[in-house]
Amino acid sequence: MFRIDYRILILLLGFTPLAVISFAQQVLPGIPFQVQARDRFNQAVKQQVIHVLTAIYFSRDTQLVYAEEQQLITDEQGVFQFTLGKGQFAGGLFNSLYKIPWEKLDYRVQIKIAIPPRPEILGWNYQQNWIELGFIPIGIVPYALYAMQTADLPTIKSKGRSGNLVATDSLAIQLSYPLEMDDGIAVTLEADRIPLSSPSYFIHRDIARNQLIIFFTAPYSGFVTWLILD
C-alpha cells in the first residue's frame, strides 16, 4: 500500500492542569493539551481533520498504561486542542484514565498523529500511518486526578517554580525535607516563548545532598515547576 510520509513537526504550546475540579457534580477532569502541527514543508496543517493517538507509559519502561484515540480538527493556525481522558479507549493496563494509580506520578505521554491525505487516496488507513511525535513528561496534572481517588492525600514535601532559566543544561533544587527514593516527583517545563518546543529531561535524586537535579537533553530556556510528594 502506498504510504504517505508526513514528517510532522509538533510544537507543545500549552500543558496546564485544570483549574477547578467539581467533586459535588462528579465532573471528571482530564489532561489538556494544545498542540500545533506542521508538515514537512514547515507549513501549518490548517483546518483539517486529524487522528490523534495518545498513550501513557511508566517513565522507566515500555509498559503501556493507557491509550486513547480522538478525531480532531486543526484551526486556521494549525493548532488543535484536546483533553486526554475524553477519547475512545485504545489499549493498556487500565481502561480508564481515572483508574491509573496516579500516586506514582512517574509517567510520560506519547502523542502520535495521522493526517488524511489531500486529495484522498483509496484504501488509506490512518491506523497504518501514525507519525510518532516523541514523549512528553506528564507533569503535575496527575495530582489532581489522584485527589479524586482518595480522601487521604499524600504530604507535599516540596513544590515551587524556578526563575527564568536561560540555555541551562541542568537545575538543582535544594530541599528542606529529606528526599527519599519512593517519593513521587512531577516536573513541568514552561517554555519562555511560543512557539518553542521544550527538550526532554532526566531526574536524579541526590539523596546525599538532599536535592533534586533535573538534567535537560538540550539547553533549556524557560521555567520549571515541580511537585514532590511523600
Given 113, 147, 181, which residue is the final one in a domain?
A: 147
Q: What is the pLDDT along the chain (230 residues), one digit of tens a residue?
A: 333 333 334 444 433 333 333 333 344 567 777 777 776 676 788 999 999 999 999 876 778 999 999 999 999 888 888 888 889 999 999 998 888 887 666 788 888 889 898 888 999 999 999 888 777 766 555 655 655 555 555 677 888 888 899 889 999 999 888 888 877 777 877 776 655 556 777 888 899 999 999 988 888 888 888 878 77
Q: Report the CATH number that the domain containing residue 94 is assigned in CATH.
A: 2.60.40
Q: Compute φ and ψ for 145, nearest 5 degrees.
A: -70, -40
- Same domain? 141 vs 167: no
Choose the final residue of a domain: 147, 169, 184.
147
What is the pLDDT at residue 10? Answer: 40
Instruction: Return the pLDDT at 226.
Output: 83
Question: What separation in angstroms does the CA of 126 have from each of 45, 51, 98, 114, 205?
Answer: 16, 7, 27, 6, 41
pLDDT number for residue 136: 73
Residues 28 and 138 occupy one common structural domain: yes
What is the extent of the structural domain holding 63?
Answer: 9-147
Give yes or no: residues 85 and 179 share one domain.
Answer: no
97 plus 76 within the same structural domain: yes
Q: What is the 3-state secondary structure (H, E, C) of 117-160?
A: CCCCCCCCCHHHCCEEEEEEECCCCHHHHHHCCCCCCCCEEEEE
| Per-residue cell: 213 | 537535579
Query: Does 141 share its domain with 202?
Result: no
Q: What is the pLDDT of residue 157?
A: 81
Q: Are residues 143 and 161 in the same domain?
A: no
How far apart, in whole angstroms, are the C-alpha atoms of residue 50 and residue 70? Answer: 8
Would 3 be classed as within a structural domain?
A: no
Residue 125 pLDDT? 95
Residue ending a domain, choose from 147, 164, 199: 147
- Within a domain: 101: yes
> Could you tell me if 161 and 140 lie in one domain?
no
